[in-house]
Every structure is written in C-alpha cells, then in structure tokens.
C-alpha cells in the first residue's frame, strides 16, 4: 500500500514538474469556479508565492481581481451550484477569447484558451490557458504601420509623378505661347490652348480618382446606353493619352442601344481606368484592346482584353488593392483598379480578372436591374 502511495506521489510530482515547465499560466477550474490546480507560471501571473495560497479560490478573483464571474468568460451563464459545464461546451472541444487585462498598471492583450476535461461523459472541469500576446500584437501593429507608410509613400510618389507630367506639359506650352505673343496665327494659339486643356483634364482625372477613393459618392442610376458609355471612355483615353494610344488598335464588339440602369459617369470612369491600364501595359508599343459586350437574361457582361504580356499569377490577388501598382517604375497612383472594383461593387456587380497566354482579360458583370436601395 505504501509503495502504491509513493508511486502515485511520484507521478503527481512528475506531472507538476511538466506543468511547471510550461511558461504560460495553466489553471484547472471546477464547476464552482474554484481553482483546483495551477502551474508555477500561474503563481507569477497572480503574484502569489505558493500553491496552497491559490487552491480553492475563485478563478475570477485570483486571476483577474474581480468580485464576480468575468464578462468575457465562456461559462459566464453557468451557475456555481451546477455540477458540470456540459451546456457551455456542448459540441465544442475548446473555446478561445482575446481580452484586455491590466497588469502592473499596463494594459496587456491576453488570449485565453478553455479546454474541457470530461469524466464519464460529463465536463467536470476546465483548463484555462493564458497567453500574453501583447508583444505579438504590438509587432503586428508596427508591421501594419510600416506597410501603411510604405503604401502611402508609393501613393504619394505615384501622385507626384502623375501630376508632374501634365504640369510640365502646361508649363512648356505656356512658355511657348509667351515666346510667340507677337504671332497673330489663331491656329497656333488654338492648338496650344487645346494642349493646355488636355493636360488640365489629365490632372483633373488624377484628382478625381483620389477624391473618388477617399469619399465615394452615393450611387444614382439612370437608364443609359453602355455601348455609348464605352465609346466615350475610349475617346477620353485617346484624347488624354494620345502618344500612349497612338499604336494601339481598338475592337469594340457590341450593339448601340444596350440600355439598362447604371451611373454613366462612374461607369465611364471604370472603363477609362481599365483602358488606361491596358495602354500603360503596352508601354507605347503596338497592340490591340478588345472590348466585348454580352447580354444574358439578367446580367450584362463587358470583357476588356489586351495582349500586353499578362499579369503574373502572384499579383492577381493584389491588383484590386489600394496603392498597388504593377508598374516596375512605380508610375501611377495605384488607385485605378481599386476604384474600378469599388464602382462595380456599388452597382451590385462583380469585377474579375484572368491572365493567360500573355493576355489579360477583365470581366465586368452587372445586373440589368439594380436591387432596391441602390
């Protein structure tokens, strides 16, 4: 009998040694919320000196200095006179919680895991594991701040570059006009003024993109012709980017008079950005932009395709993210495709992209009837 007791004592000491080797607090809690067993990390967490001083105390008082059951406890609806935790852990093997807790006047972030201990089919106790994830959260927040700053830097650099082009063009044109004030040729002045207007329009489009991203307007739809809207977007892009589009061929497959409810201004902005994306991908080279309109029973699909080399698979899931640009030079604000995605989503539609055989194909899918509330 004595050898059996000694063997049990040795096993208990071995188990306690194993528990003490775990650096995170572990607490065994009975249905009366009393502490039945802890490891040494729990003593440090609760600022207690020995095991007898913590056993039998209420877990919420020992661990969190509370007078009642913790509001974040998954067993908070449990009554202390109930014999088990079956109701709280029905169909669950574990429950997790992320909570804030003040330790030494510092707010810490804790992650609590609760594991049920079953005996004869009943949850007779629960093991609570306390993980201090404050430093991990701080590192995540710091990484997020760094990524945001990097994105902001890319965005500012892109905006500066994009605005610098039309501003430089206007400056040179104005200088040219000033040097030729003595000229009375109206065609000369008209051509130079059109160049300034073109550069102003380009700058206004950049600013409009930024405003649209930062503060989207409420969607107002009207019955309009999507074919006409696409042609206007094509003409706008060619007019604003004449050199970029000089060697690009266009193919518009569709029929005039394709009317349904949408916002023509926002939809033109959508296709301007898609067309500009293709033009920039051709990088002043020869190519073709193919646009196809397909109408089904309840949806209208517009495909915009180019053969400018495609998009790497690793980038496909990022191109709709704000500030992301696939231009190696960092040219562009990185907002164009993100704005496209937002416009389509506003219309309760879907924007998808596929890249294959050095081709890039965007599909804009829009419902022919807008849901109520849009």
The candidate with the shortest Cα–Cα distance to 198, out of 228, 167, 177, 229, is 167
349 domain residue, yes or no = yes
Last residue of a domain, one of 103, 132, 161: 132
Residues 203, 93 share a domain: no
The domain spanning residue 338 has which CATH number?
3.30.565.10
77 domain residue, yes or no = yes
Residues 213, 65 share a domain: no
20 domain residue, yes or no = yes
Last residue of a domain, one of 132, 153, 187: 132
Contact between 360 and 281 (Cβ < 8 Å)? yes
Q: pLDDT tens, 46-84?
A: 999 899 999 999 999 999 999 999 988 999 888 888 889
Per-position b or e across 70-108, b if 16+ CB within 10 A of its CB: beebbbeebeeeeebbbebbeeeeebeeeeebeeeeeee
Residues 118, 209 share a domain: no
Q: pLDDT tens, 80-89?
A: 888 899 988 9
Residues 192, 43 share a domain: no
Residues 317, 185 share a domain: yes
Domain housing 28 = 2-132
Domain total for the chain? 2
Of the listed ranges 179-188, 332-341, 344-353, the least confidently predicted one is 332-341
Q: pLDDT tens, 184-221?
A: 677 877 777 887 887 787 677 667 666 665 566 677 88
The candidate with the shortest Cα–Cα distance to 267, out of 229, 213, 323, is 229
Residues 361, 212 share a domain: yes
301 domain residue, yes or no = yes
Contact between 276 and 325 (Cβ < 8 Å)? no
Please state the rounded mean pLDDT for residues 112-139. 91
Residues 197, 121 share a domain: no
pLDDT at 211: 66
User: What predicted TM-score, i.e. pTM, was given to this entire model?
Assistant: 0.50
Q: Residue 161 pLDDT more than 70?
A: no
* 270 CB-near residues (< 8 Å, 6+ apart): 233, 339, 340, 343, 344, 364
Of the listed ranges 4-18, 46-60, 276-290, the least confidently predicted one is 4-18
Residues 128, 189 share a domain: no
Residues 297, 189 share a domain: yes
Residues 362, 241 share a domain: yes
How sure is the predictor about 234, in pLDDT bands with cuts at 50, 70 and 90?
very high
Q: Residue 39 pLDDT more than 90?
A: yes
């Amino acid at each position: 009998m004595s050898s059996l007791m000694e063997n049990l004592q040795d096993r208990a000491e071995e188990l306690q040694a194993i528990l003490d080797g775990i650096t995170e607090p572990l607490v065994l809690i009975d249905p009366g919320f009393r502490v039945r067993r802890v490891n040494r990390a729990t003593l440090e967490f609760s600022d207690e000196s020995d095991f007898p001083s913590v056993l039998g105390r209420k877990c919420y008082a020992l661990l969190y200095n509370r007078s009642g059951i913790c509001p974040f406890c998954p067993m908070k609806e449990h009554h202390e006179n109930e014999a088990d935790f079956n109701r709280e852990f029905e169909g669950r093997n574990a429950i997790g919680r992320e909570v804030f807790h003040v330790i030494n006047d510092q707010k810490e972030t804790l992650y609590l895991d609760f594991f049920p201990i079953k005996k004869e089919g009943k949850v007779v106790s629960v093991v609570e594991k306390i993980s201090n994830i404050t430093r991990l959260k701080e590192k995540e927040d710091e990484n997020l701040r760094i990524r945001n700053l990097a994105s902001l830097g890319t965005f500012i650099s892109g905006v500066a570059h994009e605005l610098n082009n039309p501003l430089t063009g206007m400056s040179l044109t104005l200088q040219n006009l000033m040097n030729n004030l003595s000229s009375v040729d109206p065609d000369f002045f008209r051509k130079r003024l059109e160049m300034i207007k073109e550069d102003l329009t380009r700058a206004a489009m950049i600013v409009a993109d930024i405003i649209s991203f930062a503060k989207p307007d409420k969607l107002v739809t009207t019955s309009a012709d999507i074919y006409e809207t696409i042609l206007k977007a094509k003409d706008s892009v060619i007019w604003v980017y004449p050199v970029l589009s000089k060697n690009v061929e266009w193919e518009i497959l569709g029929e005039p008079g394709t009317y349904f409810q949408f916002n023509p201004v926002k939809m033109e902005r959508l296709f301007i950005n898609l067309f500009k994306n293709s033009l920039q991908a051709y990088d002043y080279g020869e190519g073709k932009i193919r646009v196809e309109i397909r109408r089904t029973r309840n949806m209208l699909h517009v495909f915009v395709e180019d053969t400018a080399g495609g998009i790497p698979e690793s980038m496909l899931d990022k191109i709709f993210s704000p500030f992301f640009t696939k231009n190696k030079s960092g040219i562009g604000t990185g907002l164009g495709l993100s704005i496209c995605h937002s416009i389509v989503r506003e219309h309760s539609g879907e924007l998808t992209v596929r890249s294959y055989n050095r081709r890039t194909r965007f599909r804009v899918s829009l419902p022919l009837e807008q849901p109520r509330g849009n």
